[in-house]
Amino acid sequence: MIFILLSVYNGEQYLKEQLASLENQSCTSWVLLWRDDGSTDATRQLMENFTLKHGPERCVLLSQDNGKHIGICNSYTMLLSAVPSGAYIAFCDQDDIWLPEKLATGLKALKSTRKDRPALYCCRQILTDSHLRYTGLSPALPQHPRFLSAMTQNIATGCSIMLSPAACTLLKAASPPFSHILHDWWAYLLTSAAGGVIITDNQPHLLYRQHSSNAVGAPALFFKRALAAIKRGPNVFMRIFHSNTEALLRHKHFVTAKNTASLEALRKSLRPGLRGILARFSVLCRMSGLRRHTLPEHLIFCLWFLIGPHKKLPKKR
């Protein structure tokens, strides 16, 4: 059984089309688990109508704190905690449209992996404007992403992610500890750090609607992504990098020995001053996997990593 996790918030404008695309899935072995994150429009009524149509066993409301605004990451973490053991998971946004084979394709890919090994599936998306007019494709996905590359950027867009039961168990045991990182990047990071399987599919299986209310957008063109990164500067990225390193080390009982050693080396390099710059330069030379997937984006990462703000980290207890 696949549990589709949906957090809704003021989504009445596009929600009907997304729900209709769930009904049109060729794989019908699914349950929709949802909660409202404090909507003030007709979103909740639309969800209640969908429940009446399909029944409370097929469309399940997570009643805990329903209607309380807790933010997208906390909302999906709460939904994840309610998924029963042995279930597959698909993250769902309120404003996209899934193509009919989306669930079936992801499920087939996940079932090809070992049951005891966490696995994450993600695919490219067809990008559209708010009226579903084609604007391009999301960036191509690498065939064999490695853990260290997951530290530099998230390639697993939430609306495309499906998780195996083993990955679901892993994420329940180590939920995102910080508000700065969304549920999709944490799922990708933790699954990869634990030695899990990351399955990338360059065939798009959904329409990813881009509009002014997106929680996170997905610019298709490199120059737009690069310009956004340059405008943000190194501060935001390096705060996230520091925090992700610390978070994974706090959960190192789930992380492979090799990846733990890499995290420890990264942590030691994240120090201020000239010694820190030299240590990080050494890390870049030794850790060839610590890179983004296109050369221009990788060069920006190297610059931010070398010269970005680095605060003195607390000593380990």
Strand order in the sheet with 59-61: 59-61, 30-36, 2-8, 88-92, 162-163, 119-123, 197-201
The phi and psi torsions of 227 (rounded to 5 degrees) equal -60, -40
**Tell me, what's the pLDDT at 177?**
63
Taking the CA atoms of residue 85, residue 89, residue 91 and residue 96 in that order, the dihedral angle to the nearest 10 degrees is -140
Rg (CA), the chain: 20
Distance CA 163, CA 165 (A): 7
Residue 302 reports pLDDT greater than 70: yes
| pLDDT at residue 312 tops 70 | no
Task: Give the mean pLDDT of 210-219.
Answer: 62
Reported as a single tens digit per residue, the pLDDT across 289-298 is: 999 988 888 9
pLDDT (tens digit per residue) in 20-67:
999 999 999 999 999 999 999 999 999 999 999 999 999 999 988 888
Q: Would you state the pLDDT for residue 283?
A: 96
> Considering only CA atoms, which of 3, 66, 78, 12 is closest in space to residue 33?
3
- Give the whole-angstrom CA distance, residue 206 versus residue 213: 18
- What was the pLDDT predicted at 308? 77
Give the residue-averaged pLDDT of 130-159: 95
Q: Tell me the β-bridge partners of 31.
A: 3
Q: Is residue 86 within 8 Å of 166, Cβ to Cβ?
A: no
Please, what is the average pLDDT of the chain? Answer: 91
Interval 189-211: pLDDT, tens: 999 999 999 999 999 999 999 97
Q: Spell out the domain ranges in the chain.
A: 2-209, 222-307
pLDDT tens readout for residues 63-106: 888 889 999 989 999 999 999 999 999 999 999 999 999 999 99
At residue 126, the pLDDT reads 97
Strand partners of residue 59 = 32
Residue 21 is which amino acid? S
Q: Contact at 8 Å (CB) between 72 and 7? A: yes
Residue 234 CB neighbours (<10 A): 20
The contacts found for 236-243 with CB under 8 angstroms, 24 or more apart, are 237/301, 237/304, 237/308, 238/304, 238/305, 238/308, 238/309, 238/310, 239/180, 239/309, 240/180, 240/181, 241/151, 241/270, 241/305, 241/308, 242/270, 242/310, 242/311, 242/313, 243/178, 243/180, 243/181
pLDDT at 316: 45
| Across 152-173, average pLDDT | 96
Global pTM value: 0.91
Single-letter residue type at 237: F
Using CB atoms within 10 Å of the CB of residue 26, give its burial: 0 to 12 exposed, 13 to 18 middle, 19+ buried.
Answer: exposed
Lowest mean pLDDT among 113-117, 213-217, 229-233, 263-267: 213-217
| Token pair of 127 as six digits | 């990008």
- Of 3.90.550.10, 3.90.1640.10, 3.40.630.30, 3.40.50.620, which CATH number belongs to 2-209? 3.90.550.10
